[in-house]
Structure 1
């Protein structure tokens, strides 16, 4: 199905994305501004994957960086510049773009691109929830020995602005872009990893944008409990933050939040929440969804948590989410576990596509 994205979709997409962000995926106000601008300057379109030929070429549009970085800036012009730099590298042109993940800002990745270029957004994400590393959102391309990654990037304030295009191995090019985000002040917009639509459907999360929009509608109508019910999850714990630590490491926010409850509830995060420990036992771990809400019931990114903040913690099992095959590839977790110093990788298992 082909349809124009509307203002009714806008808030639902951003708030549903914020829940699925699991502490990462950007910030609500910036997501609302970007989506609103897209609707002001053009008519972004969302197409289901079955509107394309299997060999049509699509690319991921994303934001890369540390949400708590002190001086970031990615403007809509930077997003278009990154896409332009990528398209220059390709032997044939793109027919569409898709987002890397669901988050408050990332669910609406591609809306501005679509409004300005006419390329439709595919109702598909590399992963149906937010994740910290580019490889987690690369749909298993690190297993494709002959795949050559191409990435365009741009971002930063005038005194830190960087842009460029890089091609090569997936891990090497991702590291270059991650480093560029640090030099830019914390964030860059990226267009990367062109693949055929058929590959994206098999290895990504088709239907992820529609899923976020429906979740957002449930949240806007029923609050945190409405979102939890829709996800088959629950509010696992409520408490006030007693200890909070966050440091930027390798372009990511790495830290911990400890609540003042008797259970000593502890949230470990690398941008997104990776693990939730209650009474010294693991209650949930990524790719399970762990999302925090403030005392007004609004989704709260890990970067916005502070000592004294009153939190409710929603937990939903991974099997109730739309996830990429990469979420069950233990090797993609190793760098994140090393940064955090906590083991949480799931056991490898195959995902079926029905």
Structure 2
């Protein structure tokens, strides 16, 4: 359970305003270490031909009509295994987050699989394509994607298995998430470990756990100590501190899209949001940070990362940033095909900054 708590705390920094919920992460992680003993494996411990699948949750963190049970995560993995002609060896997550760092721990414990110490992206991101490790634009790979979940009381529960190219099937899953209430458990992309070793962000889970443990060690010292520890541990920095002055974020098609303004004295920041914080501009329109940089809003008084859905006007926020040079980058974020739909939704340029 100590690992669960650390993964959630460290994952919350890499969540970049999204990546699920702290309570959900503790609940699902707690269930995982109660029913079994999840095993974290480095990529060096895994045979090249072993099949690894990605487990995650799909949707918008600010949504409130969803229902995902622990059994939904397990059922999604079982359905993929039933529809895959081969043996699945382990699971990995496409991103870190408040709950997404431990997405695969429960099905791994229940089904005797390993959890791979790798992520499709070290930070959280809005689309499944951004965590697909370069598979999004490939037409020669036929994937399997599964979603399970939804609020039973409203008749929104769904089980769906789709096969096809990653690009087409990812769009179908996003629609299913919206229909189920805004968030749904998923399993997808059976790939050999040899591909994971070349294209994933290696060590993504252990980095979250290590950061979480460092945070736990200084929590009794208050918010300033926590923020300083986060900066020291990650080579990150606080770009500015100010009060939230406006929140213009709306739900659309299982995405939370819009802007948040932080009234940093003398130079207000505008944060562009698509589920997660994707870019920061100052009052003169200068770009200060852009995905795949880590961009996190942290409560300046408590030191706790704050998700998009929990930001409130008047809240004092430290805007935290890790430049992409200081994080492991996967093929997900160097795949130019994953950017256009996000750029269109946000109405800003990402590619020229992301690839600078």
Interval containing the TM-score (normalised by the shorter chain): over 0.9
Structure 1 residue 328: Cα displacement: 2.1
Partner of 1:226: 229
CA distance in 2, matches of 1:342, 1:77: 39
Question: What's the counterpart of residue 117 of structure 1?
Answer: 111
Q: Deviations over 1:145-194 (max 9, x none)?
A: 31001011111110211111000111111111100101110111000011
Gaps of 5+ in 2: 219-225
Residue aligning to 2:180? 184
TM-score (norm 1): 0.94
How many pairs were matched up?
A: 344
Q: Which runs of 5+ in 1 are unaligned?
A: 1-6
Is 1:25–1:103's contact at 8 Å kept on the other side of the alignment? yes
Q: Tell me the alpha carbon deviations over residues 106-147 of structure 1, each in whole angstroms, 9 at most, x when there is no partner.
A: 111111111111111111111111111111111111343310
Aligned pair partner of 1:138 in 132, 139, 155: 132
Mapped pair 1:97 → 2:97: no
Specify which of 16, 34, 38 is matched with residue 40 of structure 1.
34
State whether structure 2 residue 307 is matched by structure 1 residue 313: no
User: For residues 220-241 of structure 1, what are the alpha-carbon distances to aligned partners after superposition, in whole Å with 9 as ceiling and x for unaligned?
Assistant: 2341110111111111111111
> 1:143, 1:257 → 2: CA distance?
31
Contact 1:330 1:348 in 2 (8 A): no
DSSP 3-state at the match of 2:231 = helix
Pick from 314, 336, 343: which aligns with 1:337? 343
Cα shift readout 1:77-120 (whole Å, capped 9, x = no counterpart): 11111111111211112011111111111111111111111111
- Asked whether 1:52 is paired with 2:55, we answer no
CA distance in 2, matches of 1:342, 1:189: 30
Match of 1:149 among 122, 143, 151: 143
Moved more, 286-295 or 324-333: 324-333
Secondary structure in 2 aligned to 1:140? coil
Which SS does the other structure have where 2:333 is aligned? helix
Whether 1:212 and 2:208 are equivalent positions in the alignment is yes
Tell me, yes or no, if structure 1 residue 75 matches structure 2 residue 69: yes
Aligned equivalents of 1:221, 1:277: Cα separation in 2: 33
Runs ≥4 residues deviating over 3 A:
346-350
| Aligned mates of 2:242, 2:276 — CA distance in 1 | 19
